[in-house]
Structure formats: C-alpha cells, structure tokens
Amino acid sequence: MTRARTVDIHSHILTKEAMQRLARESPRVTPAWTDRTDRSATMEIDGKVVQRPMPHEIWNLDWRLRDMDANGVDMQLICPTTQTFFYDCEPALGLSCAALQNEDIARVVKEHAGRFAGLATVPMQAPELAAQELRRAMTTLGLKGMEIGSQVRGRNLDDPALDPVWAAAEQLSAFIFIHPLAFGPRERLQSYYLNNFVGLTFETTLAGASLVFGGVLERYPDLRICLSHGGGYIPYQRGRFLHGWQVREEPKARLHGNPDTSIDRLYFDSITHSAKALEYLVDVQGADHVLLGSDYPFDMGNLDCVRKVEEAQLQPAIRERILGGRARELLKLGD
C-alpha cells in the first residue's frame, strides 16, 4: 500500500536572501552571526543574542531537503523564525520586515514545487496593517495563513485591538499557527534550560487559554488556530479549565458558553516528545485536530516527526490523518 504524503506543519526558515533584505531595511533588524562553526552559529539582532545555537539548516535548503527525505517528510509548511517577528518595531518597519520575509517564503515555495507551502508573518503590533499583509500574503503570494507569537508587546491574544486580524483570518480561511514568543517569569527560568521546556510551553498555554476565555474562538468560530508543542498544558488541564468556569465568575467575563466548545475548535501539532502523551492528545482532541510537526531545524523539536507518530499506538487511518491527510484538507493542498 502506498503511503500518503506527509505534511510537517511546524518548521522555520530564514534564508540568506531574507537576511540580506532585512539588513537593507535597518541596522536594528539586521541578523548578525558570531561563533560560527560548520553546523551552527550564534544569531544576534540589534546587539542582542536571540538564538544560540542557530543551525545552518535554517537557511541551507539543500540540507533541509536532505533531512526531509531522510525523515520521511514529503512537504514542510515553512514559516519565519520567532526572532524575526519584530513586534517591538514601529509599525512601518514591522510591516516592511514582514513583507520581505513573506515574499522570500513565497519564492522558496515556487522554486521547490510540491516540497513546501508557506505561512506569513504579520506586524501584530499594528492590527490593521497585519490584516492587510495577511490578505496580500494569501491572495497575491499564495501563502496559506500566518504564524503569530503567543503575545504582542506583553498583551495577550484576547486583546480586543486584535479583532481586525481575527476577522480577516476567518474571512480568508487562514491557517493560524501560534508559536511561543518570550516567556515568563524569566528570573525563575534561567537554570537547566527551563526557559524553553517550561517557559515556552507555558506561553503556548497562556495564548490558548486567552483565546478561549477571552471569547475569541466564540466570536470567530471558523478560525483555524493551531497551537505549537502539543498545545502546552491545555489538552492535559482542560478539565481544570471547565471546573474553574463552572465554579468561578471570572472565567465568564467574556466567554458565554462552555470552554470545551472553544477548546474543541483548536488544533495542535504532534510535538509531545512522548508516544503516550501523543496518544492522550489524540484521544482528547480527536485525530482531525492533531497535525504532524517537527519544529525543524531546532534541537528541541522532533526532526524525526514521522517516526514519532508511527511509534504511538494509533489506528492506521488515524495515523494517516495526523501524518498529512488532515493538513492537506486544511491547507487545500490536494493530493
């Protein structure tokens, strides 16, 4: 039996061409590389270390395609790195940085037909401009939606100012991938790399819970929002969310209906680092709401994402949906 095409919906890219165009925009957004080795480097922006190490696979397409083939990934949904969201920039610069990255992703998709689809980045600090760039990215550049951060300048994603973004995304049937951005409280997460495997999953949880209890998914029920890293803690604590909504008044401030209804609308990538956790995620959220993800090319991802899904005790039909069947439907990729 021929295996259906696999689609990895969580992978990042920052090509040399995009970095060169960023450098022409402003010194404040210029990626700089230090401590270079044959495999990685430290990436700095505006004099600050933003990623250590940054694998060369982030820009090397030959290595990326080699790794995809080695790991059974037929297609990647490529999106920018969180380090180049630039939400702290003034709106005009943020829009320019987003636009050039989106154009570069569209170029990569076009030059490698069938291997990549793309997600845009948008200047979330300026919601009207973000909605405008999302429309351009999808209708002109052919991208499938957008990747956004878990917060915008310290504001959660239920901020009413972001409604123009949600309205445009729903109208366009955009796929929205939410990736943790920053983390807190920083001073307690400095040891043991807790900032990543505790801090980032907390950020994902906070983003998802804000969308649920802020009523965003209730007001825009057709949004297609996918949470990274297995959804943080949301799938595993949704019983606590429901209990809190039942016994407290605060969770009802902006959410009128049962939170389970909104949580059921969310999608989740498969990055749980545990077959048992993945089985639980599928059982709780349903196979049609779990999508293959790798977090390529970073070391905290599952670069062997296909094998990770195949190791879980799942029915063959469910496994095929997770590996690519459902993603092809959501992203309108065809066969």
Mean pLDDT of the chain: 95
Half-sphere exposure of 36 (CA within 13 A, CB side): 5
φ/ψ of 193, rounded to 5, equals 65, 25
* Integer Cα distance of 274 and 202 in angstroms: 18
* Domain count within the chain: 1
* Integer Cα distance of 1 and 238 in angstroms: 38
CB 246 within 8 A of CB 259: no
Both tokens assigned to 106: 């569209």
Amino acid at residue number 4: A
Q: In this structure, is residue 58 part of a structural domain?
A: yes
Q: In this structure, is residue 1 part of a structural domain?
A: no
Would you say residue 104 has pLDDT above 80? yes
* Integer Cα distance of 296 and 13 in angstroms: 9
| Residue 288 belongs to domain spanning | 7-330
Q: In this structure, is residue 172 part of a structural domain?
A: yes
Cα 96 from chain centre: 21
Give per-residue pLDDT as tens, 167-206: 999 999 999 999 999 776 678 888 998 888 888 899 999 9
> What is the pLDDT, as a whole number, of residue 55?
93
pLDDT tier at 2, thresholds 50, 70, 90: low
Q: In this structure, is residue 119 part of a structural domain?
A: yes
Rounded to 5 degrees, what angle do the CA atoms 200, 98, 42 make? 55
- Residue 126 burial (10 A CB sphere; 0-12, 13-18, 19+): buried
Q: In this structure, is residue 50 part of a structural domain?
A: yes
Rounded to 5 degrees, what angle do the CA atoms 66, 70, 71 make? 120
Q: In this structure, is residue 335 part of a structural domain?
A: no
Give per-residue pLDDT as tens, 251-294: 999 999 999 999 999 999 999 999 999 999 999 999 999 999 99
> What is the pLDDT, as a whole number, of residue 184?
62
CATH of the domain at 137: 3.20.20.140
pLDDT tier at 1, thresholds 50, 70, 90: very low
Give per-residue pLDDT as tens, 212-262: 999 999 999 999 999 999 999 999 999 999 999 999 999 999 999 999 999
Q: In this structure, is residue 155 part of a structural domain?
A: yes
Question: 297: cis peptide before it, omega within 30°?
Answer: yes
Give per-residue pLDDT as tens, 121-175: 999 999 999 999 999 999 999 999 999 999 999 999 999 999 999 999 999 999 9
* pTM of the complete model: 0.96
- Residue 266 burial (10 A CB sphere; 0-12, 13-18, 19+): buried
Half-sphere exposure of 198 (CA within 13 A, CB side): 12
Half-sphere exposure of 166 (CA within 13 A, CB side): 19
- Residue 288 burial (10 A CB sphere; 0-12, 13-18, 19+): middle
DSSP conformation class of 261: H
Average pLDDT (38-48) is 92
Alpha helix ranges (H) inside the chain: 16-25, 61-70, 91-111, 127-139, 163-172, 194, 201-213, 216-219, 234-247, 259-263, 275-285, 305-311, 316-320, 326-330
